Amino acid sequence: MDTRLAVRARAGLATMTAVTAVLYLIELVNMATFGLLTRMFGIRPRDVSSLPDVLTSPLVHDSTSWAHLLANTLPLFVFGFLAFLAGLRHFLTAVVLSWFGSGLGVWMFGSLLGRPSITVGASGVIFGLFGFLLVRGFFNRSWGQILLALVLFAVYGGVLLGILPTVGSGISWQAHLFGLAGGVAAAIVLRPRGRAAA
């Protein structure tokens, strides 16, 4: 069991390092082209031609500075690594449901309470991974996972305010809210089956 966890830890570190490198390379291109990738691959709410951008928008960040990507880097790396420790299937399920939940939520409900905008960034996926890590222990009935959730909540719990419409201008609360919902959905989908109630 320890060996398997060590293998997952190495794979998780390698995966999240590669993901981080790709995001920084994309940001470099986006800044060099003065936001071309944002305009091409960001989500424009309720624009049918922008629906495919649900697939690409988490890979692109604000082209005016590194601040957006820098703010997302550590939580994405930490949450992604911790989710990977559960296994590749759990990691991919959490990422995919968070990714699509966030993107579709933005496409349907983005800009409803503000001016039209283009949404980019990995924060929806981050919220989804966070939600997955917070609730999976309760579905799995794992005290270790519940303890980890409590530690994560103590350290990062304040970010949950980001699901509120009052979070601030330039921040997509829709991406956060629906990404979080996708992560919780992943925990439900991956819960153990056929276990008698305690």
- 198 in any annotated domain: no
Q: Tell me if 83 sits within 8 A of 133, measured CB to CB.
A: yes
- 173 in any annotated domain: yes
Q: What is the pLDDT of residue 196?
A: 40
- Whether the pLDDT of residue 32 is over 80: the answer is yes
Residues 66-125 have pLDDT tens digits of 999 999 999 999 999 999 999 999 999 999 999 999 999 999 998 776 677 899 999 999
The pTM assigned to this predicted structure is: 0.92
Q: Which two tokens stand for residue 18?
A: 């590669």
In the structure, what pLDDT confidence band is assigned to residue 194 with cuts at 50, 70 and 90? low
- 196 in any annotated domain: no
- Whether the pLDDT of residue 197 is over 50: the answer is no
- 194 in any annotated domain: no
- 77 in any annotated domain: yes
Q: What is the pLDDT of residue 45?
A: 94
- 114 in any annotated domain: yes
In the structure, what pLDDT confidence band is assigned to residue 22 with cuts at 50, 70 and 90? very high
Q: Which two tokens stand for residue 144?
A: 């270790």
Q: Tell me if 95 sits within 8 A of 129, measured CB to CB.
A: yes
Q: How far does Cα 144 stand from its chain's mean position? A: 22
Q: How far does Cα 169 stand from its chain's mean position? A: 20
- 197 in any annotated domain: no
Per DSSP, what are the bridge partners of residue 119? Answer: 43
Enzyme catalytic residues: 123, 176
- 31 in any annotated domain: yes
Q: Which two tokens stand for residue 141?
A: 């009935």
Q: Which two tokens stand for residue 170?
A: 């330039």
Q: Domain containing 83: what range?
A: 2-189
Number of domains in the chain: 1
Amino acid at 174: Q
Shortest CA distance to 114 belongs to which of 40, 77, 166, 152? 166
Amino acid at 136: R
Q: What is the CATH number of the domain that holds 142?
A: 1.20.1540.10
Q: What is the pLDDT of residue 198?
A: 34
